[in-house]
Chain A
Amino acid sequence: MVRSSRKAISVFLALSIVFMLLMAGCGQNAKTDTATSAQTQVAQTASTSAEPAKAEEPYSFSIFRSTWTDLNAETDPVIQAINKKLNVKINILTSPYETWEDKINLLISSGDVPDIVVHTGPGTGNYSQWAQDGIFLDLTDLYPKYTNLTSNIPQKTVDSLKINNKIFFVPCPYLVDAVYNVRADWLKKVGITINNGEVTLDEFYNILKAFTLNDPDGDGKNNTYGMLGEDTLTFLEFVRGAFGVDGFTDNGLYWYKDTDGQYKATFTQPGWKDMIKWVNKIYKEKLLDPEWMLTKSQAIEDKFNAGKAGVTAGYASTIISNENSLKAGNPNGELEIITKITGPGKQTGFGRAQQFWMGSSISAKAANPQKLLEFLDYCVSPEGKEMLKYGIEGVTYQKKDGKNEIIADAYKKYGYEQNAGHYFTMMLVPAQFNLPDTDRGNKYKQMISWYSDIPAYDAPLGELPSQKSYITAQGTNMITKAVTEMIIGKVDVDTGYDKLVQNWMSAGGEQLTKEVNELAVKQGK
């Protein structure tokens, strides 16, 4: 009796384990079931609070984004003002900056899509999948109705981000403001002047040479380098431009349209080889920090502020704070910027740029998407812009001699940023907004104004079918590693470069190229 019942129990347990494994395997379906039930729950709560019939009820919606300030939706004066003005109730879902992608992935997978999701657009891993799955609302019809948005955001940027010719993402136009930070005090010491931030490649080379050999910090020791670099090669932005190429993160997943109309990987552009040769030259002559390939971005700041080199990659909008950090250790330190390096072929600047930094998508389940777009539209209206930059008069700023003067204590209390104002300004306002309204700030604004002519990166968006296996096969570092080896001279540039292209092709690059061109046809690009 006992033995047979024991057998029955073990059979039952075995079957239940098999059943559970099957359920887990068909997890997708199971997940969507729970997801849809959760979504109806969320939609219900949203609609009960929206109730468009009763016009008086404020529309409560949630915004998700990462934050690094102490913003508090209940006490923040700007948010209170917006709530009153638009008859809404804003609820902020935050996450630390480093891990926001994990959190939004989890939220969306479990069906809890926040009404407005602020993310990095194509840079967010699952974005195009979510757009195509209908998680985000198609804004193609609604977007043109909001005139503040359309007049403030360059249409070419919005177009470059369309998926299947539909708008899913309202970008925050970010005039790229990458520059080279240069020690102005060192320039004075070695007797070189820069003409309005523009140099030729040869002039740049001379500056680096002077910084390395002519003891610009005046301590009598040969302990300075021309330029700092970091292991991810991002510091080569301007140098790339001088050779007429672009390259972003060089992981082999960015594309440019060649003269024959086909998309090819950016690192196969002509000019790359010459660029690598040039960097190899300055590395050999010690104009580039010999430890560049071991340096991570955090350490670069420390090195630069310690006076180890005179040129480093930076951003125009943070130059004042960078200078303050520099002065902490070097009281005589001053910074200037280089905004253009013109190469031997008269090429200059960046190849293409993203032209935006983060942006908003609206959930397909949002109860009142028009209201949400109204909110975004308000943030870029003249009134909204003013309020987001300065805050509320009397609380966070006061008028003095016709100019707005911020109250530093209030800024600190509410977590606003000195030159950027309210953190909502991250949402829909160009970066140039953030340079201070001083002579120096205006000078820099003018120097980087030509960046708005840079064409947008408009290759087909979306994950390619063989992308995942390509990434695991060579771990997105293949190109960076090969370029690093060429720069430090471990491998000869000519042979090394051809070999790199060959390796990339066989590691899945050829397949990727084919797929991206197919995608281009589908997306009409």
Chain B
Amino acid sequence: MLNSFEMGYGSMTLNQNVKHFRFKWFPIFNYSILAILGIITLYPFLSVLTVSLLPMKEYIKGGLFIFPRKITFDAYAYIFNDNSMLMAFKSSVIVTVLGTFLSIALTTMLAYVMSKTTLKGYKFFINYFIFTMYFSGGIIPYYLLIRNLGLIDHYWAVILTGAASTYYMLIMRSYFMTIPESLEEAATIDGASEIYLLFKIVLPLSLPVMAAVALFYAVDQWNQFFWPMIFFNNRKLWTIQIILKEMLFESSRFMANGAATKEQMAGKLGPSLKMATIVVAVLPIAMVYPFLQKYFVKGIMLGSVKA
């Protein structure tokens, strides 16, 4: 029988049930549409992963690729034994790591300065930087610039290309502007220098935005294709994106004359080699996200200044 609790709230539960009945459709629609979108987004990745693990015979059978029926690591073994892949990997990692560090350093410092709106000449500089978001010199002048600096066939040509983005600088600047002035004034009163302010006060509070921007930069540097293609004449320096494009789009049929030893091997491995290359090109960047996750979540200012 009903206990006292249910007696007291019994009627309310009934009402709630009625309410619930009317509104149940929305969650159903919501969840199903989101689920479909999720599946549509996820399926290509799953398919790529699956095909990369399938031996050639299984792939030929066709059908839906969700879960590998038989697993083989041949494609991955080939990749990691292949010199050009490893070199490309090394290239990409160097460009990304160095590039991200440099970018964060430059962007943070500039954003911090730009967040001080009372500086003399502030308007001029902020407009100067925003101008570069809309206009740029063009491909040929940029090539000539890098060429004349003697940076062809150096990693710096590509690192500098992605080094500073006005857009991300503005993001950081907005974030810095939300840090209350009173915080910095308090520190200044206690005798902090500008450098101390930046490194010991503002930056620790800005970890979320720094993590986000670092991630954006890392992805941009990792994905660079056009400029590495132009600036790297030596095949040893090519990044993994170039190698990936080569693998995926080279039409072995129309390459004419003589199958390379590579082609013969690749022929045996077929599409699984291409898929494995995709996985190798995407996975490292995707793996960085979980590590930066905690910085996104943390970083709400914990009562630093009592107003």
Interface residues of A (CB under 8 A from B): 31, 34, 38, 67-72, 92-99, 102-103, 106, 109-112, 174, 177, 297-298, 300-302, 305-307, 313-315, 317-318, 320-321, 324-325, 328-329, 357, 408, 411-412, 415-421, 426, 431, 434
Nearest residue, chain B, Cβ from A99: B229
Tell me the chain B residues, 248-282 only, with Cβ under 8 Å from chain A.
Answer: 249-264, 267-268, 270-271
Binds A, one of B109-117, B230-238, B296-304: B230-238
Most buried by A among B226, B246, B253, B270: B253
Kindly identify which residue among A96, A300, A317, A318 contacts B242, using a CB–CB cutoff of 8 Å: A96
Q: Give complex CA distance A177, B262 in Å.
A: 22
Q: Select one of A92, A97, A98, A420 contacting B258, CB under 8 A.
A: A420
Q: Is the interface of B mostly helix, strand, loop or mixed?
A: helix
Report how far A109 CA is from B255 CA in the complex, Å: 27
In the bound complex, what is the Cα–Cα distance between A408 and B252 (angstroms)? Answer: 21
The answer on a CB contact under 8 Å between B257 and A71 is no
* 21 A-B pairs (CB sep. < 8 Å): A31-B140, A38-B147, A68-B255, A69-B262, A92-B233, A95-B229, A98-B249, A99-B229, A297-B254, A301-B252, A315-B253, A315-B256, A318-B252, A320-B259, A324-B264, A328-B57, A329-B56, A411-B261, A416-B261, A417-B259, A431-B256
Nearest-CB residue, chain A, relative to B259: A321
B95 to chain A, nearest CB (A): 17
Q: How far is the CA of A380 from the CA of B260 in the complex (A)?
A: 21
CB distance from A476 to the nearest CB of B (A): 18
Q: Residue-by-residue, is B58-93 near A (CB-CB < 8 Å gives 1, otherwise 0)?
A: 001010000000000000000000011000000000
Q: Judging by beta carbons under 8 Å apart, are A317 and B264 in contact?
A: no
Q: Is B139 an interface residue (CB 8 A)?
A: yes
- Given the complex of chains A and B, what is the CA–CA distance between A418 and B263 in angstroms? 10
Determine if B56 and A94 form an interchain contact, defined as CB atoms under 8 angstroms apart: no
- The answer to whether the Cβ of B156 comes within 8 Å of any Cβ in the partner chain is no
Query: Do A317 and B253 touch (CB < 8 A)?
Result: no
Q: Which residues of B contact A72 (CB under 8 A)?
A: 234-236
Q: Which are the 10 A-B pairs with shortest beta-carbon distances?
A: A420-B258, A321-B259, A325-B267, A434-B258, A93-B233, A329-B60, A417-B260, A417-B258, A419-B258, A306-B60
Please give the distance in Å from B31's CB to the nearest CB on chain A: 35
Contact of B139 among A106, A298, A431 (CB under 8 A): A106
| B144 sits at the interface (CB 8 A) | yes
User: Number of residues in B with C-beta < 8 Å to the partner?
Assistant: 43
Contacts of B264 in A (CB 8 A): 321, 324, 418
- Extra inter-chain contacts (18) besides given A109-B140, A324-B267, A434-B257, CB under 8 Å: A34-B141, A68-B255, A71-B235, A72-B235, A96-B242, A103-B229, A103-B230, A106-B230, A110-B144, A174-B257, A302-B60, A318-B252, A328-B268, A416-B261, A418-B261, A418-B264, A419-B258, A420-B260
Nearest chain A residue, comparing its CB with the CB of B250: A97
Chain B neighbourhood of A95, CB < 8 A = 229
Residue of A whose beta carbon sits closest to that of B274: A298
A66 to B65, CA, bound (A): 35
| A317 to B251 alpha-carbon distance, docked (Å) | 15
Task: Among A31, A98, A174, A298, point to the contact of B246 (Cβ < 8 A).
Answer: A98
Query: B245 at interface (Cβ–Cβ under 8 A)?
Result: yes
Q: Please state if A68 and B260 are interface contacts (CB–CB under 8 Å).
A: yes
Q: Judging by beta carbons under 8 Å apart, are A325 and B250 in contact?
A: no
Tell me, yes or no, whether B143 is within 8 Å of chain A by CB: yes
B134 to chain A, nearest CB (A): 12
Are B261 and A306 closer than 8 Å at their CB atoms? no
State whether A431 and B253 are in contact (beta carbons under 8 Å apart), knowing that A94-B234, A110-B144 are contacts in the complex.
no
Give B147's nearest chain A residue, CB to CB: A112
Nearest B residue (CB) for A358: B256
B:128-150 near A, CB below 8 Å: 139-141, 143-144, 147
B56 pairs with A34, CB closer than 8 A:
no
- Residues in A whose Cβ lies below 8 Å from that of B271: 302
Complex-state Cα separation, A102 to B259, whole angstroms: 25
Q: Quick one: given A93-B233, A96-B245, are A321 and B139 in contact (CB under 8 Å)?
A: no
Contacts A70-B83, A317-B258, A325-B270 given; indicate if A301 touches B253 (C-beta within 8 A): yes
In the assembly, what is the distance between CA of A253 and CA of B14, in Å?
Answer: 78
Decide: A306 and B259 in contact? CB cutoff 8 A: no
Known interface pairs A96-B246, A329-B60; A110-B261 also in contact (CB < 8 Å): no
Which residues of the other chain, A, contact B236 by a CB distance below 8 angstroms?
72
What distance in Å separates the Cβ of B229 from its nearest Cβ neighbour in chain A? Answer: 6
In contact, B260 and A69 (Cβ under 8 angstroms)? yes
Whether B258 lies near A318 (C-beta < 8 A) is yes
Bound form: Cα–Cα A431–B83 in Å: 28
Known: A68-B250, A97-B250, A321-B259. A106 touches B268 (CB 8 A): no
Closest Cβ of chain B to A160, distance in Å, is 19
Task: Let me know if B147 and A110 touch, CB within 8 A.
Answer: yes
Which of A31, A71, A98, A306 neighbours the largest number of chain B CB atoms within 10 Å of its CB?
A98
**Which one of B251, B258, B262 has the greatest number of beta carbons of chain A within 10 Å?**
B258
* A68 partner residues in chain B, CB cutoff 8 A: 246, 250, 255, 260, 262
A434 to B255, CA, bound (A): 13
B residues less than 8 Å from A314 (CB atoms): 253
- The reply to whether A99 and B250 contact each other, CB–CB distance below 8 Å, is no
- Chain A residues with CB below 8 A from B246, complex form: 68, 96-98
Report the bound CA distance from A315 to B261 in whole Å: 17
Instruction: List residues of chain B with CB within 8 A of the CB of A417.
Output: 258-261, 263
Contact check: which of B56, B141, B251, B257 meets A297 at CB < 8 Å?
B251
Is the beta-carbon distance between A297 and B253 smaller than 8 angstroms?
yes
Question: A106 to chain B: which residues have CB within 8 Å?
Answer: 139-140, 143, 230
Smallest CB-CB separation from B61: which chain A residue?
Answer: A306
What residue of chain A has the Cβ atom nearest to residue B225's Cβ?
A99
Checking B84, B226, B259 against A318 with a beta-carbon cut-off of 8 angstroms, the contacting residue is B259
Min distance, Cβ B301 to any Cβ of chain A, angstroms: 39
Let me know if A98 and B257 touch, CB within 8 A.
Answer: no
Residue of B nearest to A314 (CB): B253
